[in-house]
Structure formats: structure tokens, C-alpha cells
Amino acid sequence: NLSLKAAEQLVSIELDPAKLTPANTRFQRGSSSIRRRFRTDDVALTPPAGVSYVSTPLMEEDEIVDGDFYLLAKNLILGIYYDDLYDVCYWLRLEIAMPLYAGEKLKEEETIELEGPLGKSSAFLWRGRYRHFENGTIDPFGLYLYGIVLKEEGNENLACSVLVESVNNNPWNWDAWSKLQSLCTTIDMLNNLNLNNHWMKDFFLASAYQEIRMHNESLAKYEYLQGTFSFSNYIQAQIAKAQYSLRDFEVVEAIFEELLRNDPYRVEDMDMYSNECFAALSFLAHRVFMTDKYRPESCCIIGNYYSLKGQHEKSVLYFERALKLDKNYLSAWTLMGHEYVEMKNTPAAVDAYRRAIDINSCDYRAWYGLGQAYEMMGMHYYALHYFKKSVFLQPNDSRLWIAMARCYETDQLRMLDEAIKCYKRAVNGNDREAIALRQLAKLHHELGRSEEAAFYYKMDLERMKDEDREGPNMVEALFFLATHYKNVKRFEEAEVYCTRLLDYNGPVSSNIVILS
């Protein structure tokens, strides 16, 4: 085995009498399998006669020991001598880090046989000997790594406790906060955390509120932090994310434009901006391509650009490139699923959405995409299940309510009262496309509820007037209202709507004769 030979060579070089240094005592510091394996006879400390040495500065003994043991540990990993590796790691103060590294190698080797259809592996990280955790001798970074291992093994309660201890002792390790956040899926779990008061705790809570869909609370936290960190681009970007979740797109666009003015070469979070800035998408795609085309965010922005142009095959290609750079990049999986839906490739779309959900089960876009895909396949009960998941995660998004309402309207379900409830929620959720009011009027008309239908047609007319919109929907509303008020003997109101219908030319105007 080449790796083992390399390790043996490493030790033999260090014990060469001609090159002996004070590090020759390294294996006398305690009993280990490494020392037993590589035990050699004692050698003289006096150089051979006639050999002269040039005086050179020597490294500190501990530095030499650490360097040698580090190289030895690396070779033991490659040689799969994991038990001996632990003893070497003890001298490096890496009782968590190096066993974790060894465990990852075992995991990779087992993945080939244990891999499922979506690439998931049931292989666990190596459970090293974490005896020092109970003694309280692991430093905050070691606790952080220990928490990761426990989380991967499914021991989430202990992982949460370990990560809390880590961030309390070293609050500047943001990745430890992020791992802790992934374990806190409810507000009760957040409130039960025994965290020290520190400004990093505010950053953590703001991010955690965003993940558990408390967007207003998250926005308030970030605005509070902005009072202290007034020039932080990160906080500005997080405020934009919160506003995006609250569907305030005008504010989102203004914040991202300011971010680009302050930091023209910024790539982080720009993929979210590309989901809304259709007018400037070409400019944004060119800018991130010139800045760093090998970033997942850049690939997603370019993919969105090709999607907008209708070139869905090219769009998928760039999303695949993003996933080569980061296989857990959530946006790429979801957006690629959308492209497969456009290409009518529903099996590939379902697979992409399910991968996104495996990464983050709170991604409402992936659940919504699954609903769309199953609806295309005519499986409306499945589609309804996934739409319900999406609206639970994002109740303020009118598009999700409209999609679920249309699912209720299908011939397979015909649950019109449930559809009406969904359209009402869409109206309350800022229906920018103005779909819900018209659909509510039509459904009530279909169910014979003329008064309710008239109420929603009037609301729709007022909205169209406020937004200065005209067209077939306005003609439909005016004609229904004129007919309705004529039938209920309210001729003055019927005359008002007939008069407004006279402003339109074509076949609609001839229907006024019927009303007269």
C-alpha cells in the first residue's frame, strides 16, 4: 500500500541518525498504536565522527511534531488506517476534525453501494471516540464539528445542545449559528434556546425568523441591526429578502439597485434579484458573467436570462452548471424544475423539485412546482396536496392560492366552494395579476348567486379603473352588471352600465339591443 509506505517513510526519515532532531522523543509521550507499530531501537544522539554541521535556526519541537503527525495522519486516511489515525489526531488537538475527515472518506466509499435513486446515502459519518465532550475539554470549534456529526446522524436534540454551547463560547462562528438554525423549525424551539446575549444572536434570530416564515419579525430585527451596521451590504440584502417574501417587489428592486451602486461587482444574492428584474436582466447577466462566471449565482442569473428569452434548453444547461459548482444550491434545482415544466418534461421536473425539497423542505416554490407537474399529468389530488404544502409555507402569495383554486375547479374535483375560498385568500394576498376577483364573480354567477357575482364584478371594475386598464374583462363585467340590474328592476343602474358599454365598438355593442 503506497499510502502506508509513505507514512513509514515519513517516520523513518525523522529517525535517521544523520538528521536527528529533538523531535526523536515524539513517540515517548504516551502509549499509542502508532508508537508500537513504528517502535525503533534507541539511537545515539552524538553525530558521527568527522561530520560537521552548519548552524541553522531550528524549528520549535512542537512545530516539528505537529507537522510530522499531520502528514502521517493524511497518509493514514489515504491508507484507511482509521484506528491509528485517531491516536495521531490526539497530538494534533484534532480529536473531532480528523476523525470527521476520516468519516467523510468512509461515507464516500459506502455511497457507491448505498446510494438511492436520488443520490441520497444512508451512510453515517464515522462515530469517533468523543470521550472528551463529557469532560468539557473540547474547544468551541470542536463542539461545532461535533454538532455537525450529531446532526448528520439524526441526533438533533444533542446536536442542538452542542451547537448552543459552541456559539456561546465562540459567537463569531457564523456557520455554527447556521447549523443551529437548521435545527430550529418552530418559534418554540427558538425560544427554548439558552443563548448568551450578544449582537450575533440578533443576526441569528433575524435569519431564523425568515426561515420559519416570520417575515415581519425578521424585517424588524434587520432594521434594528442596520442602526448599528448602517453600511452593511449583507443586512441590506437580507432586508430585500424579507421584503421579497412579503411581496413588496418595488422596495426589493430599489434595494438591489442601491446594492449594485455601492458594490458593482456583487454576485451574492443577485440571483433573487434576477427573478424580478426582467427589464434589466440582460445587463445583470452580462455583469455577473464578467465578474465571476464560475459562481452558482452567476449561472442561475444567466439561466434566468435564457428562460426569459424562451431558450429553455440553454437555461437548463446553466442551472446544471450551477449544480456542478454547488450540488446543494437550492435555487438551481427549483428553477431547473420550472424549465422542465416549460419543456413538458414532467418526470425530470418532479425529480428536480424533489431534490430541492430534500435540501430544504420549507421551499414553497418547489412544493408549488410539484403541484404544477402533477396537475399537468392529470393527477389533481396529488397536485392539490402539494399546493396545500406551498400555501402553508407562503400564505401571502396570491399565485399559490390561485393555482390551488384552479385545481379545485377541474372536472375531476369540481369543488367550487373550496375554489371560492382560495380566490378570496388570493384577493387578500395582493393579487397583482387581477385574476381572483374576476374568477370569484364567474364562479358565483355559475352557482346562481347573482348578487355576489355583481359585488365582485363591481370590485373588479373599480380596480381596473384605478389601474387605468381596459379590455375584454371590463366589457364582460359591464355586460353582466347591466343585465343583472335590468333583471332586478334597477333600471337606472342598468342604464349606467349600458352607457359605458356604448364606448366599445364591435359585436359587444349589438348586445345592448337585447338589454333594451
HSE (CB half, 13 Å, CA atoms) of 393? 20
Could you tell me the pTM of the whole model? 0.70
Q: Per-residue pLDDT for 439 more than 70?
A: yes
Name every residue whose Cβ is closer than 8 Å to that of residue 377 and which is 6 or more positions away in sequence. 346
User: Which stretch of 296-305, 401-410, 442-451, 457-466 has the lowest confidence by average pLDDT?
Assistant: 457-466
Taking residues 396-407, what's their average pLDDT?
92
| Residue carrying C-alpha cell 389530488 | 381
pLDDT number for residue 105? 57
Q: Per-residue pLDDT for 513 more than 90?
A: no
- pLDDT tens per residue, range 249-277: 889 889 988 998 998 889 888 888 888 77
Confidence of residue 103 (pLDDT cuts 50, 70, 90): low
Q: Per-residue pLDDT for 503 more than 50?
A: yes
Q: What is the rounded CA–CA span in Å between residue 170 and residue 341?
A: 46
Rounded to the nearest angstrom, the gap between the alpha carbon of residue 403 and the centroid of all alpha carbons in its chain is: 23
HSE (CB half, 13 Å, CA atoms) of 170? 14
User: Which stretch of 11-20, 66-75, 462-471 has the lowest confidence by average pLDDT?
Assistant: 11-20
Taking residues 485-504, what's their average pLDDT?
84
Confidence of residue 516 (pLDDT cuts 50, 70, 90): low
In terms of phi and psi (left: phi > 0; alpha: psi -120 to 50; beta: otherwise), the region of 49 is beta
Residue 275 DSSP label: T
Q: Tell me how crowded residue 155 is: count the other CB atoms within 10 A of its CB.
A: 14
HSE (CB half, 13 Å, CA atoms) of 81? 22
Q: Per-residue pLDDT for 208 more than 90?
A: yes
HSE (CB half, 13 Å, CA atoms) of 382? 11
Taking residues 293-310, what's their average pLDDT?
92
Taking residues 367-380, what's their average pLDDT?
94
Pick the closest to residue 453 from 490, 430, 479 (CA basis): 479
C-alpha cell at 331: 435555487
Percent of the chain whose predicted confidence (pLDDT) is above 70: 71
Name every residue whose Cβ is closer than 8 Å to that of residue 195 and which is 6 or more positions away in sequence. 164, 167, 168, 201, 204
Q: Per-residue pLDDT for 63 more than 70?
A: no
